[in-house]
């Protein structure tokens, strides 16, 4: 008999495929926003529209030895979660009360955007060294799920 994945596993696998479009040299991240079992938007991390990608010009963070989870502003890329939210806004798609599936735990910058977008649940695969985002999600009442059961930092 064929093993059918649950919805969380299904949408996380799609986010993993979306991440393959990433142009980041350090982390390939993908995000999918879902509501009522339907994909509303997706995004991956990469340079802003009409700008050179890190694949082409190198990584500012690597060149300056910036530790993962710090100095988020010193990155050329727009994060996958941000791109998914932006794409929904560009096309007039409401993501109110949706779930965001992401290959990585969102950083604090993305957490604030997710909270203000009224996304109610975030499901991710890999932990990220940003404890502040977890605290923000908790305070805002956004459910945070790490699958497979790897505890967040």
The Cα–Cα gap between 105 and 142 comes to 13
CB burial of 118-133 (b: ≥16 within 10 Å; e: otherwise) equals ebbbbbbbeebebeeb
Active site (annotated) includes residue 139:
no
Residues whose CB is less than 8 angstroms from the CB of residue 133 and which lie 6 or more positions away in sequence, other chains included: 105, 106, 107, 108, 110, 111
One of 9, 13, 67, 81 is an active-site residue; which one? Answer: 81
Catalytic residues: 81
């Amino acid at each position: 008999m064929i093993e059918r994945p649950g919805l969380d596993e299904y949408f996380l696998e799609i986010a993993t495929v979306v991440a393959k479009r990433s142009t980041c040299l350090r982390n390939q991240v993908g995000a999918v926003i879902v509501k009522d079992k339907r994909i509303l938007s997706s995004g991956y991390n990469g340079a802003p529209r009409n700008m050179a990608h890190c694949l082409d010009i190198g990584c500012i963070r690597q060149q300056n030895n910036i530790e993962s989870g710090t100095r988020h502003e010193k990155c050329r890329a727009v994060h996958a979660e941000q791109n998914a939210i932006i794409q929904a806004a560009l096309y007039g798609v409401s993501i109110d009360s949706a779930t965001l599936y992401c290959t990585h735990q969102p950083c604090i910058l993305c957490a604030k955007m997710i909270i203000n977008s009224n996304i109610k649940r975030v499901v991710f695969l890999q932990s990220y060294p940003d404890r502040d985002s977890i605290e923000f999600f908790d305070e805002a009442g956004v459910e945070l799920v790490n699958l497979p059961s790897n505890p967040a930092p």
